[in-house]
Amino acid sequence: MTTEQLAADTIRVLAIDAIEKAHSGHPGMPMGMADIATVLWHDFLKIDPDDPTWPDRDRFIVSNGHGSMLLYSLLHLAGFELSMEDIENFRQLGYPTAGHPEVALHRGIETTTGPLGQGFGMAVGMAIAETQLEARFGSYLVDHRTYVLVGDGDLMEGVASEAASLAGHLSLGKLVVIYDDNDISLEGPTSWSFSEDVPARFRAYGWRTETVDGHDRDAVRGAIGDAVTQRDRPTLISAKTHIGFGSPSKQDTAKAHGSPLGSDEVTVTKEAYGWTLPPFEVPDAVYGYFADAMERGRKARLAWSDRMAGAGAPVTELWTSHFDPEPVALVPPAHDAGSSVASRAVSGEVIQVLGELRPDLLSGDADLAGSTKSNFSGEPDYSPEDRAGRNVRYGVREHAMGATVNGINLHGGLRAAGSTFLTFSDYMRPAVRLGALMGDPSIWVWTHDSIFLGEDGPTHQSIEHLAALRAIPNLWVFRPADPAEVAAAWQVALNRTDGPTGIVLSRQGLPVPETLAPVDSAIRGAYVRRPGDDAVIIATGSEVWVAEEAATLLADRGVSLRVVSMPCVEAFLDLDEHSQRDIIGRNLPRVSLEAGVTFGWERFTGRRGLTIGIDRYGESAPWQDLAEHFGFTPGAVADRIADWLESQRDS
């Protein structure tokens, strides 16, 4: 038996044993893709376990993340920070060998995968980031590839189709996708639901394709070797494999996909491999085999470090501005008091300032830059002809934009923002949630934020979206009311490094107040816009001015209403309890005001409070008419609060 064969079988056996011990997992994919992974890691992949975060390393993503034991076996054998104890405790509490890979760069895990297709989309983002940085710094500092393993499930999901279309359009030649074409999904044969010619589809996207026997390691070696010569087209290698390879009774069946083999089948499978070692024991030759492979990356990393050391101050300073940027401190764009300006327009002004302050920032849109105001003026678009362009045109592909932006930010060296209408955040939700889970600092610009976008009607009028997005842990959602709050939202978004931020903006103009609160006030998530002693109203975004004018009307009736603007619920809840009470007030009757569903506001108003919102879909009409119709005018709000306070006194 060759050492290469022994290495592939070691990966298979480690996966089998770990899954069997856990009584849970997916053995079929690691058993089927072990030959491919062995060739890729030994002969091609440029990584270094001594410095797993080295910027010019190749990126390796297992999009079919249910096969996580393939990745964990490789990382352990190659000398990354993943012990045999971790392998033995696969899927157990407190160990890094989770059921699906969770990003841990120091261990060599580039991204969190499992929701199928997301890893594919993030790989496209990483490939974009590589070309962008190469254009800025040259191939002597940036020259690496992105390799991604995918399964049938990945390619059935729509996000992968969108991302593949984008990658082909952008000619991402350093992207290599290896497709585990085994004709089996979780329930049974893929023929039940999937009969397309996948390579033909990818060729139509503009990809180069090659089909090989995934167990013929020389053929795999040749296909990957051909792929790494490409510069103008991404490559799909369709590798014909046997799921559960080597299992006498479960190979090529769905029984190998999502369940342990069972002790009897483990025994006969190991006999088929000629494997005689006890569970979790690895031949020394295999450790040596992968250690030799890692020397390639170690030498490349040391050579890169020498090149960086000799690059000169201008280059190293620019590099630092990308990989370790200074925090930003913003001032609001100037607008005359009493004028009216949409918060999306103010955001567009802030983006122009940020374009100067943060050369690492990319801004993209889903065919809506004219509406979301997200483009850098005077900057070229990112394209095959101009890899340094900072405006990324994702097309009508919100699914792919979400995953791709996550991938760009995970890559390092760039910060990426993506924009669309708030109602289309539904298309992005899996990527937004995954980014929050990973702590990926993606920035989302969502405009046309309520029924007040007007005539486009209820299909485009976001009602439930704010509540739904606020339900995602670690996603901070800003809904600013004026230029100071827009500046605060962007300042937080750029300075956050532990999670994503959404900036939710209006289509319609909002009044500019006589005096803007300090940006630092809005950064805290909430602050007092107007003092009051009888009750407090908490408002967001386009309803803040309504609350302030309602307070003026109520003052004429002898009611002193405190107005609190809460641009970011999550930032407010991050404050200590004493600070929260100082802002909202102590023992005051509470009212919330937001042009969205009232769900979620009870956490602030309490059981006896008043929540003013809209718990039904909107109508197609000018926004001023909708405000009258749905009771979001100062007079209507003042009347509701007065009647409610009266009912409280009577009860």
Active-site residues, by number, are 398
Segment (H or E) for 8: helix 3-22
Which residues lie below 8 Å from residue 502, measured CB to CB, with a gap of 6+? Answer: 425, 432, 444, 445, 446, 469, 475, 476, 477, 478
Phi, psi of 38 (to 5 degrees): -60, -45
- Provide the 3-class DSSP secondary structure of residue 353: helix
Q: How far apart are CA 127 and CA 407, in angstroms?
A: 8
On whether the CB atoms of residues 369 and 394 are closer than 8 A, the answer is no
Q: Are strands 509-511 and 340-342 parallel, antiparallel or unpaired?
A: antiparallel
Cα–Cα–Cα angle for 537, 538, 542, rounded to 5 degrees: 110
Which one-letter DSSP state was computed for residue 106?
G
Q: How far apart are CA 427 and CA 462, in angstroms?
A: 13
Distances (CA, A) of 62 to 86, 435, 620, 630: 19, 16, 45, 49
Counting Cα atoms < 13 Å in the Cβ hemisphere of 561 gives: 32
Q: How far apart are CA 598 and CA 80, in angstroms?
A: 49
**β partners of residue 509:** 342
**Cβ count near 617 (within 10 Å):** 12
Segment (H or E) for 504: strand 501-504
Which has the closest alpha carbon to 632: 477, 450, 456? 450
Q: How far apart are CA 178 and CA 240, in angstroms?
A: 10
Q: How far apart are CA 29 and CA 114, in angstroms?
A: 13
In angstroms, the first-to-last Cα distance of the chain is: 86
On whether the CB atoms of residues 150 and 178 are closer than 8 A, the answer is yes
- Provide the 3-class DSSP secondary structure of residue 588: coil
Q: How far apart are CA 475 and CA 429, in angstroms?
A: 11
Q: Which residue carries 């993943």 as its tokens?
A: 82
Q: How far apart are CA 183 and CA 198, in angstroms?
A: 12
Counting other chains too, the contacts that 137-143 makes at CB distance below 8 Å and 24 or more residues apart are: 137/315, 137/318, 137/319, 140/307, 141/56, 141/304, 141/307, 141/308, 141/311, 141/315, 141/319, 142/55, 142/56, 143/56
Handedness of CA 370, 373, 377, 379 (dihedral sign): negative
